[in-house]
Structure 1
């Protein structure tokens, strides 16, 4: 069995007391059949620092982007494009809109989101989208900027079945995190039953949102196995089948040949 953690902030884990280093984290993941990790950046300086920390590996790929909560007055779009064009970078993001935590900079959030999609189309790399309390604007910008031309994924999906359908119509993938295992996530589980297996990804969003039975602890790539096992039951398939399909989906979306598959 081969699993992929399709969204992890690998630079954000506790390397002081929980892990001895990146090798340790990836070894723990491999022991639970997690063979590949997508390391997601949220700022441009963070992207550079993350690559320096983790280095070039055959089981890690990178994204480059600026999270909507990390805009701090703006950044250099030319620098974003230059970094995103580097070898090893397979996607733009994470980008998107977050009106739950910030509403004083909505025009800037929207401009940044549009720029990520435009660069994604130019470089032929997909976008990784974050949305919170911004469903309508997120879908509108994806349509207006023709995000279907570069493709992408709505990561850590917490929306409803209707939103899932709109994203599927755009050709997007939908990624589920440990939230799907939470007790109060009935609407999310309904959406997960609706999303076809061939458009589904799985993720940890580590170090956040550890799934049951690890809830309350720091999340890590190894725990994507728990998400997979839970979703397999929800979808009525065995875990090996879900692992193979979601890994194939990841490979297709990000144009990555996965080692060991």
Structure 2
């Protein structure tokens, strides 16, 4: 029972062989997948996948890189989709200071609007953070995001920052980078953060874990993330799988 809490099976990289990719995930014990939409086309595709597969759920939101493109109509549309029974989170949202397509102030405004929306529809949020930790933590505090909580997706920060986020009702999600030899911070977080606050993900088709680094990622590879966390915590893979799956179900309100 593995739960991939962040996948982009709505990406063009899976246009040719999606059915095989999903079959491999099931063969490796992946019982649930959340497909994350972050603009019009990817949200539409995520919603289609929730209809096609009973174990696929959707998160809907607007990516900070594209914040400049988001309209009030888009925000209203996300709000409408939030009432769908298989939409389990709002996001991914946040700040990305690596790419400069959207000005920082626009990103912050779109981020705040989505937090407000999530509180209105009572769904957790999924946070994208690239080179923007201090501003993200500040906005989460100012907007009282703890009210809905959520996920620090593909967390790459320090143990100290992880603890701050946990204090604000967030789970720490680890992906492929925790398997990289040089990923000191991610490994420390895996060791130090309690199992009841951890989640696992692939962020596929990106951030492929060792030993497939450099190739396309897919949900079946989430087991390598679980194995690495188990090794670092000196517990069994089964314990990691059970705990992270239970954490995800609790957060997303999935009973089965």
Q: TM-score range by the shorter chain?
A: over 0.9
Higher-helix-fraction structure? 2
Distance 1:52 1:16, change over 3 A: closer
Give 1:122 deviation, angstroms: 1.1
Choose 229-238 or 77-86, whichever is displaced more.
77-86
- CA distance in 2 between partners of 1:13 and 1:207 (Å): 10
Give 1:241 deviation, angstroms: 0.6
Q: Unpaired segments of 5 or more residues in structure 2?
A: none
Does structure 1 residue 66 correspond to structure 2 residue 90?
no
> In structure 2, which of residues 82, 96, 99 is the aligned counterpart of residue 98 of structure 1?
96
Distance 1:184 1:124, change over 3 A: same
Q: How does 1:179-258 map to 2 (within 5 A)?
A: 179-258=177-256
Deviation sequence 1:56-103 (CA, Å, 0-9, x none): 432100011011012243322222212223231110000000112127
* Residues matched between the structures, number: 254
Give 1:255 deviation, angstroms: 0.5
Choose 38-47 or 66-75, whichever is displaced more.
66-75
Give 1:228 deviation, angstroms: 0.5
Give 1:53 deviation, angstroms: 5.1
Cα RMSD after superposing both structures: 1.5
Q: Unpaired segments of 5 or more residues in structure 1?
A: none
Moved over 6 A (4+): none
Does structure 1 residue 27 correspond to structure 2 residue 23?
yes
Give 1:52 deviation, angstroms: 2.8
- CA distance in 1 between partners of 2:42 and 2:26 (Å): 25
Task: Determine helix, strand or coil for the equivalent of 2:123.
Answer: coil
Give 1:32 deviation, angstroms: 0.8
Task: Determine helix, strand or coil for the equivalent of 1:125.
Answer: coil
User: 1:52 maps to what in 2?
Assistant: 48
Choose 23-32 or 164-173, whichever is displaced more.
23-32
Give 1:13 deviation, angstroms: 5.5
> In structure 2, which of residues 62, 67, 71 is the aligned counterpart of residue 75 of structure 1?
71
The 8 Å contact of residues 34 and 59 in structure 2, kept in 1 or not, is answered as yes
- CA distance in 2 between partners of 1:99 and 1:44 (Å): 22
Distance 1:73 1:58, change over 3 A: closer
